[in-house]
Structure formats: C-alpha cells, structure tokens
Homo-oligomer: A and B are copies of this chain.
C-alpha cells in the first residue's frame, strides 16, 4: 500500500485494490490471527456529518485489530462551533491518534485536510465526492459472490446523484466488467461520469427498464431513488415502482443473480428478498469490517515500517 492517505477510489490501482481485498479475505478466513495486529493503535474519528454504519464498522475494525478509537463526537460539540478552521482541527487531532478517518459534507475537504497531517487519513465520505472504503467493500462482496473477472453487473436506481455508484463504476474499469445502468431518464448517469468511463475503456450500456437485461446479470446493485429528486410526489410514485424488485421477479428471471445495496434501503428491495440467496446486502454491510481492517492493517503496517 504505497499511499499515505486514502482519499478516492480512483487513486487505487488494480494491484492496490487486490492487495486490500486479499488481506480482507485472509482476515475473514482467520480473524483470530489479527486480534493483536495493532495493539494500542488509536484511530481518530472526525465525523463532521452523521453516520451509523461507516462509523460503527471503522470502530469495530480497529478494535478487531487490537486498537481503539478517539472520537471527536458530534460536530455541534466541537471547536468547529467556535470558528476553528478544518485545517486547525485536524492538526490538533492528529496528535491524539495514529491514523484518522474523516467524513465531511464538503467535496474536496478530505484531500485538503490530508495535506495538513502527517498521520494517514482515510476519507469516509466528503459530500458529493468520494467514499473509497464503500467502493472497496462493494468490490470485495462482488468478488466473493460472483468474481471480478468477466463480470456482468447491473447498477440500478439513482445514477445521477449516487456517489457510491460513480465510484464503483469507475473502480470496475480495472476489471473489464460489462456494466448495465438502469434508471429513469431523469436520473441517468451524468455526462461527465459516462465520459470518464468511456475514457477508461469501460463497456457500458444504459437502460430505462430492468426486465430485458435481468437474466444476463451476475450482480444487481440497487440504490435508492430519493423522493426529494422529483418535482412532486405523484411523479416520484409513477417512476419509483419501476425500480423496485421482489423475490418473485428474481426467481422467475434469474435464479443466480446476487443482489447488493449500500443500505439503508426504504422499499426498493422488498423484504421477501431477504430470505433468498440473492440477498447479500447485509453480508455486504458486514464486509465493511474485514475490508476496513485490511486497509487499516496495511496503512498502519506502512507507518511502523
């Protein structure tokens, strides 16, 4: 892992990604071997925005490695409220920890913060920007369920605003996947993302309906369509129903497809899917722990080396 900071999935080469995923697989195979990998290591948590699963899984990850956290707590209790700059805050907090994890509402903030600190910093989401560990755990889950080579994936839902989706799509260009994008016309991939994927030589197809291509997919990655994206609720309801899936559809059309979702979901995946073998989205969330353990292990290893 030759990177000091992990700001964007785009900075990771295929070799980098595989190094993390391989380490995560080792951890999954034998977690007991890692419980004392980094005794006493402290991970500083700087969440300038709420988060449940990302914060909890980073916390679990460092503790499963024998370390611990030092948490800034909610931003309304922090010195930021007293007018302190982000640069000052991170320079203070780096003195309390061996590595930092930061989530912040402003795009570009993680990159900026990383320039002020000497300890490794991991971006855990910077607004509309990047969230590289989500991408890594998505890739890990795809690899475990369908493999990353010769993959045919469908990515469905809000493709316009979905940070997670853009990042995953880009990362998959390292693996020559065929990517199908399924969304209402108004929530298609932004032109800039489409251009970017073409530049990387990706094989992509865009659709407004799932049904015609469902049978060809190894993985279906579903994201939420947010009500707020539509001018009125009737328009939302007209569209949203088209991008909801249930167990019956899956069983009838593609008995093998793995269904993923970054969670939380509302109603885009019916609860009757949960009990089927398609449903790997809880497993995907749980994979946040071994994948973040792997990343932290590689970064802290690099530090002490």
Contact = CB atoms under 8 A, between A and B. Distances in A.
Nearest to A87: B271
Interface in A14-69: 35, 39-40, 42, 44, 50-53, 55-57, 59-60, 63-64, 66, 68
A190 interface: no
A96 interface: yes
Interface band, chain A:
35 or more
| SS class, residues of chain A in contact with chain B | helix
Contacts of A79: 52-53, 263-264
A92 interface: yes
A29 to B, nearest CB: 17
Contacts of A203: none
A73 interface: yes
B91 A282 contact: yes
A88 B265 CA distance: 8
Interface of A: 35, 39-40, 42, 44, 50-53, 55-57, 59-60, 63-64, 66, 68, 70-74, 76-79, 81-84, 87-89, 91-93, 95-97, 263-266, 271, 282-283, 285-286, 288-289
Interchain residue pairs A-B with the least CB separation, the first 3:
A95-B286, A84-B264, A50-B77
